[in-house]
Structure 1
Amino acid sequence: MNENDGKEFAELGVKQWLIKQLFTLGIRAPTPIQKGCIAQILGGHDCIGAAKTGSGKTFAFALPILQHLAEDPYGIFALVLTPTHELAYQIADQFQILGQQLKLRVCIVTGGTDQLEESLKLAKRPHIVVAMPGRLADHITGCNTFSLKKIKYLVLDEADRLFSESFQGDLETIFEALPQKRQNLLFSATITDAVRECKPLPLNNDKLITWSESDPQLTVTTLDQRYVVCPAYARDVYLVQTLRKYRETKASSHVIVFTDTKKECQVLSMMLNAIGMDNVCLHGFMRQKERASALSQFRSNLKCTLIATNVAARGLDIPSVDLVVNHKLPLEPREYIHRVGRTARAGRSGMAVSLITPYDILRLGEIEEQIKTKLSDYIPTDRVMPLSDIAFRYDLASKPIEPVGIWV
């Protein structure tokens, strides 16, 4: 490192040992959200941060937390709440990498493992607890052997999702177990009115900063966003054709296909495997070990296609993802933003293709209005139908049955 290396981080108040750690990760300059939030968090402010997916939100709160922890290391110092298992493990990994010099102890509390084992880890007073609200609330109301009364930081990652009705009761239980004096840090790519008002979590208005990008476009400019118009009954055939067309130019590319329901996810994965398109799937009906295995195979290039529900739509950072396909448009425009944010991250390019029927035109318009971007054709209709492919009909329970027609 020369004298100018890390200058921008140093100007934000980041200590040299953390800057060196960032350099080992190839990070030499802060992103806009890091510039807007790190110094303020170090100064003791509560923070609401909104930025496009892949913009470095995790390090925007992890760096200040680790710097303060180094001054007086004790457990439990910070609590990070997330809506999904996969995001919890990713955040924990990023804390571990940044905090290597501190011999950081991180505990993940998400369920899917033995609750007694989690309790024993919490009893050892780790520095950072990364948790899903439901499982942590179970520990608090049960026979808990730990205390959250001395935490300095509460982080809500993907705050808009955490403030949904499904997490409300669990959050109330957790907030009652926390000290009144603490810093509250809320981050997401989409900040809703519920987050801004933050009724379940009163913020320190005298020391509150709200940072969001000035760019009204909610998706990055390096993301090429397209659509394919198809009849509803032939959606799967058009999906196969879309994947084949894309792999003609990028054979080894990594692709995530998003579906709406767990059953659709499983059946679609089976269908693609049956026609020779190797893939793994990820959804909420799977055991935690199976989910971790699927994600590991996808990250490590053993499988190049991941079929997933919205459990993979939030926060996951897999740099090799080149294409995101929406098998169906999500009901909420903000979920579209999170889904397509799995590609074109940190300045890289990527593509998102959505399969739409004539009944989806209004929903597509709502998405375009929200993201301030117009989607364009990927495969013109007159070029799809002449291409031969087999349309399979599948038993919803398990196995594919006989082909029911050939599109020509």
Structure 2
Amino acid sequence: SGKTAAFVLPVLQVLSQDPYGIFCLVLTPTRELAYQIAEQFRVLGKPLGLKDCVVVGGLDMVAQALELSRKPHVVIATPGRLADHLRSSNTFSLKKLKFLVLDEADRLLEQGCADFTADLEVILEAVPARRQTLLFSATLTDTLKELKSLATNRPFFWEAASEVRTVDELDQRYLLVPEVAKDAYLVHLIQTFQDEHEDWAVIIFTKTCKDCQVLNMMLRKYNFRSIALHSMMKQRQRFAALAKFKSSIFKILIATDVAARGLDIPAVQVVINHNTPGLPKIYIHRVGRTARAGRKGMAITLVTQYDIHLVHAIEEEIKLKLQEYSVEERFVLDILTQVNVTRRECEIVSVES
């Protein structure tokens, strides 16, 4: 949708009039997204000689502190690591900041399993009161609505007008499967896509890091070129996995929701939800990884007998009925026992390692 350019271009325009260091801070919930945003700043800011600095966890803090002390024009960070720097050193200052951007603002501001509140408080104390704050999100949550109503200076608010919450080019399907046969259906789907469209790239979303790891091991046993991406991996492994998928070395990416937000991988033709997302907004972010920038794409959600109510909630939110995806069951039944045995073997190996 061009969300990143919507804040990168105005920031660069104002920066060009009076360039100085640390001019803009961009906060984002995931490390991968931080690097993607930095890439956009570099491409669009090259004529200005833009200096940027990415501050995320999993990488050397000393090297990051050195970069921050050199006063880059733009800092792109995850809240946790930037707050760590602010607590532990005074080699840089955010007091002259003109812009504070919260990308995926709903995720940054929501309270839950990954609560950024304490880190955001540290950061907000370090930035000046007189600044322009920009919040961007693909989904408007109650938190953002509340923030809009609390703001004292009548903020500018813009929402893309659309009756449907997902794009027209996206073919959205569901596949009703018994819980015990879910993996066999997945293997059959992947095999079908690879037989019919050898060059297609597929992202499979899973609920947990363990599921992600086990599914990756299982698909590799069936000689599918897959790679995993989840938050338990070391940061360099995560970057490497994403780079290999983007460059088509691997055609299948199995990921947790760490990859559901903002990541722009142009060539993804299919998104498969191995689990039905518990929240409609998670579904919207996941399926948004395909059918990007006017391209066509397909999203298939594997739905068990326990997930029907979740599908109804998703349909209500996106204002669209999901169509059933038809599969010949006999092909799935042929591989069911073998797939379940392979899954069990992979689970045992996963526990041992």
**TM-score greater than 0.5 by the shorter chain:** yes
Match of 1:262 in 2: 209
Provide the rounded CA distance (Å) in 2 between the counterparts of 1:394 and 1:265. 15
- Alignment of 1:342 onto 2:289: yes
- CA drift at 1:204: 5.5
Provide the rounded CA distance (Å) in 2 between the counterparts of 1:58 and 1:397. 42
- CA drift at 1:318: 0.6
- Aligned residue identity for 1:375: L
Choose from 371, 387, 394 the match for 2:345: 394
- Assess, with a 3 A threshold, how the Cα gap between structure 1 residues 168 and 302 changes in structure 2: closer, same or farther: same
Match of 2:313 in 1: 366
- Aligned residue identity for 2:349: S
Provide the rounded CA distance (Å) in 2 between the counterparts of 1:387 and 1:335. 33
Tell me if the contact between 1:159 and 1:191 (Cα under 8 Å) persists in the aligned partners. no
SS in 2 for 1:217: coil
Choose from 176, 180, 190 the match for 2:129: 180
Tell me if the contact between 1:238 and 1:384 (Cα under 8 Å) persists in the aligned partners. no
Structure 1 moving runs of 4+ over 6 Å: none
- CA drift at 1:247: 2.5
SS in 1 for 2:26: strand
Match of 1:198 in 2: 147
- Assess, with a 3 A threshold, how the Cα gap between structure 1 residues 169 and 400 changes in structure 2: closer, same or farther: closer
Provide the rounded CA distance (Å) in 1 between the counterparts of 2:65 and 2:81. 11
Provide the rounded CA distance (Å) in 2 between the counterparts of 1:146 and 1:202. 31
- Alignment of 1:224 onto 2:171: yes
Match of 1:10 in 2: none
Structure with more helix by fraction: 2
- Alignment of 1:164 onto 2:102: no
Match of 1:244 in 2: 191
- Aligned residue identity for 1:286: M
Provide the rounded CA distance (Å) in 2 between the counterparts of 1:105 and 1:313. 28
Provide the rounded CA distance (Å) in 2 between the counterparts of 1:150 and 1:275. 55
Aligned residues: 345
Aligned ranges 1:6-405 → 2 under 5 Å? 55-165=1-111, 166-198=115-147, 203=151, 205-206=153-154, 208-380=155-327, 382=329, 384-388=331-335, 390-391=338-339, 392=342, 393-396=344-347, 398=349
- Give TM-score scaled by structure 2 length: 0.94
- CA drift at 1:381: 6.1
RMSD: 1.8
- Assess, with a 3 A threshold, how the Cα gap between structure 1 residues 275 and 214 changes in structure 2: closer, same or farther: same
Q: Percent identity?
A: 52
- Give TM-score scaled by structure 1 length: 0.82
Tell me if the contact between 2:228 and 2:253 (Cα under 8 Å) persists in the aligned partners. yes
Tell me if the contact between 1:226 and 1:378 (Cα under 8 Å) persists in the aligned partners. yes
SS in 2 for 1:266: helix
SS in 1 for 2:347: coil
Provide the rounded CA distance (Å) in 2 between the counterparts of 1:233 and 1:203. 50
Which structure 2 segments of 5+ residues have no match?
none
Tell me if the contact between 1:313 and 1:338 (Cα under 8 Å) persists in the aligned partners. yes
Tell me if the contact between 1:87 and 1:314 (Cα under 8 Å) persists in the aligned partners. yes
Tell me if the contact between 2:202 and 2:253 (Cα under 8 Å) persists in the aligned partners. yes
- Aligned residue identity for 1:167: F
Which structure 1 segments of 5+ residues have no match?
1-54, 402-408
